[in-house]
C-alpha cells in the first residue's frame, strides 16, 4: 500500500503514521501537512527515516495532485482539518475553507490521480449533542444537527465525500470518532492542557458546565479502527469509532490531578463558550460486529499513561504552549482571545 496521510504532523495523524510504519513496514507512507499552529514536525521525529514528508495544504489542488502522482499514492487517509471548537467561533471562515473546500479539493485531486481508496476522518460532533439525563447514543444513519461552526464544517466535509461516492464512484469510507487522547496531542486540548498546567501548578480552567460529558478513545485504538476499515470495511460505508466510556470535564481534571499528586484547589471555573455541547456518545456496534474491532486501552490506564508521557516530554510540549490561539477564560468578558499570557 502507498498511503498519503493528510494532517500527518497533527495529533491523530502523527500517531497513525507511527502506527502504520510499525505494523506495515513494507508500505510507503507520505505525511502531508500544512504545518499550521497545531501541526508539529517534531511529532514525526522517530519515524522520519521511514517516511516521506510533504509540506502541503489540502486547499492547494495542484500541489495535492502533483504529490499523489509523484509518490504513486493508492490510498489517502484524510485527517487534515481545523479542529479547535473555540477558534471556530472566532474565525469560522477558516474552518469552512479547510474542512469543506479542502476536503473537496483533495477528493478532486484523488479522482484525477485515480487513487483507489479514500478514507475520511470525521467526528461525533456532526450529530449535535445529547441530553445529559439520557442513555441515547448516535447511530450511523442519524440526521446531522451540527451546533457550532466546527461541527458544521466537518458535516459539510462528510457530505462532500458522500457526494463523490455517489456521483463519481469514489471508493471512499468514513469514520466518525469520539474524543481522542494520547501522546503528541497539542496542549490546547483538555487532557494535555490540564496535564501541562498541573505540572507547573497553574490553574486548570473548567467550563462552568462541569457535568457535560464526552466519550473518550485512546488514539492507538482509533488507529487500529482505521486499519480495520481500510482492510475490511465496505466501500461507501460509515463506521463509528468510540470506547463507550464517558467522563465529564470535572472527572478529567480530578484524574489528571490525582495522577500527578496535585491539589483540587488548582481547579478554576471559567465561563462556558458559546454553543457548548452537553454530551456525545457513539453507537459502535457496526464496526464491532462487521469488522471485529474493539478498543483495547482502558481509560484509567490510558489516561494515566498519557499524563506520564506529558510529564516526561516537556521538550515536546513546552515550545507549543504559547501557540494556543484562544483564551479559554475570556468568553464571559467578550474578549476575542489569542494566546493565554498567564
Tell me the domain boundaries of the chain. Answer: 2-180+217-241, 190-213+246-279+298-333
Q: 221 pLDDT exceeds 50?
A: yes
pLDDT band at residue 280, thresholds of 50, 70 and 90? confident
Q: Identify the architecture of domain 2-180+217-241 in CATH.
A: 3-Layer(aba) Sandwich (3.40)
C-beta of residue 4 within 8 angstroms of C-beta of residue 71: yes
Percent of the chain with pLDDT over 70: 93
Beta 267-270 vs 213-218: how paired, if at all?
unpaired
Q: How confident is the model at residue 49 (pLDDT cuts 50, 70, 90)?
A: very high
What are 213's strand-pairing partners?
Answer: 248, 279
Query: Which H or E run includes 17?
Result: helix 11-23
Average pLDDT over residues 296-300: 96
Whether residue 332 is predicted with pLDDT greater than 60 in this model: the reply is: no
Residue from 32, 118, 129 nearest 81 by CA: 32
The pLDDT confidence band at residue 333, using thresholds 50, 70 and 90, is: very low
How confident is the model at residue 99, as a pLDDT? 98
Best mean pLDDT range from 5-9, 316-320, 334-338 = 5-9
In the structure, what pLDDT confidence band is assigned to residue 135 with cuts at 50, 70 and 90? confident
Tell me, what's the pLDDT at 300? 95
Contact 165, 317 (CB under 8 A): no
- The confidence band for 37, taking pLDDT boundaries of 50, 70 and 90, is confident
Mean pLDDT value across residues 15-36: 98
For the stretch 146-203, pLDDT in tens is 999 999 999 999 999 999 999 999 999 999 999 999 999 998 889 999 999 999 999 9
| pLDDT tens readout for residues 110-124 | 999 999 999 999 999
Q: Is 189 helix (H, G, I), strand (E, B) or coil?
A: coil
330 has pLDDT over 60: no
Measured between its terminal Cα atoms, the distance across the chain in Å is 46
CATH number of 190-213+246-279+298-333: 3.90.25.10
Amino acid at each position: 500500500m502507498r498511503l498519503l496521510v493528510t494532517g500527518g504532523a497533527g495529533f491523530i495523524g502523527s500517531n497513525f503514521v507511527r502506527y502504520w510504519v510499525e505494523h506495515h513496514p513494507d508500505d510507503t507512507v507520505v505525511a502531508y501537512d500544512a504545518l499550521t499552529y497545531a501541526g508539529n514536525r517534531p511529532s514525526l521525529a522517530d519515524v522520519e527515516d521511514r517516511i516521506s514528508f510533504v509540506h502541503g495544504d489540502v486547499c492547494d489542488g495542484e500541489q495535492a495532485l502533483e504529490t499523489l502522482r509523484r509518490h504513486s499514492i493508492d490510498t489517502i487517509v484524510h485527517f487534515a482539518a481545523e479542529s479547535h471548537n473555540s477558534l471556530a467561533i472566532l474565525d469560522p471562515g477558516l474552518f469552512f475553507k479547510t474542512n469543506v473546500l479542502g476536503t473537496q479539493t483533495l477528493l478532486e485531486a484523488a479522482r484525477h490521480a485515480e487513487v483507489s481508496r479514500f478514507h475520511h476522518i470525521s467526528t461525533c460532533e456532526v450529530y449535535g449533542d445529547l441530553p445529559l439525563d439520557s442513555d441515547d447514543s448516535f447511530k450511523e444513519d442519524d440526521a446531522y444537527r451540527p451546533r457550532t461552526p466546527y461541527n458544521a464544517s466537518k458535516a459539510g466535509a462528510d457530505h462532500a465525500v458522500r457526494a463523490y461516492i455517489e456521483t463519481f464512484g469514489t471508493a471512499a469510507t468514513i469514520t466518525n470518532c469520539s474524543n481522542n487522547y494520547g501522546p503528541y496531542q497539542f496542549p490546547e486540548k483538555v487532557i494535555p492542557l490540564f496535564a501541562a498546567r498541573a505540572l507547573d501548578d497553574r490553574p486548570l480552567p473548567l467550563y462552568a458546565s462541569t457535568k457535560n460529558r464526552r466519550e473518550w478513545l485512546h488514539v492507538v485504538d482509533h488507529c487500529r479502527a482505521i486499519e480495520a476499515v481500510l482492510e475490511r470495511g465496505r466501500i461507501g460505508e460509515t463506521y463509528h469509532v468510540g470506547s463507550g466510556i464517558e467522563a465529564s470535564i470535572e472527572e478529567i481534571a480530578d484524574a489528571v490531578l490525582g495522577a500527578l499528586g496535585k491539589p483540587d484547589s488548582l481547579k478554576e471555573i471559567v465561563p462556558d463558550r458559546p454553543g457548548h455541547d452537553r454530551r456525545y456518545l457513539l453507537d459502535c456496534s457496526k464496526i464491532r460486529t462487521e469488522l471485529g474491532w474493539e478498543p483495547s486501552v482502558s481509560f484509567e490506564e490510558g489516561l494515566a499513561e498519557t499524563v506520564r508521557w506529558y510529564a516526561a516530554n516537556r521538550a515536546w510540549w513546552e515550545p507549543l504552549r504559547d501557540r494556543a490561539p484562544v483564551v479559554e477564560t475570556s468568553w464571559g468578558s467578550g474578549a476575542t482571545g489569542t494566546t493565554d499570557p498567564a
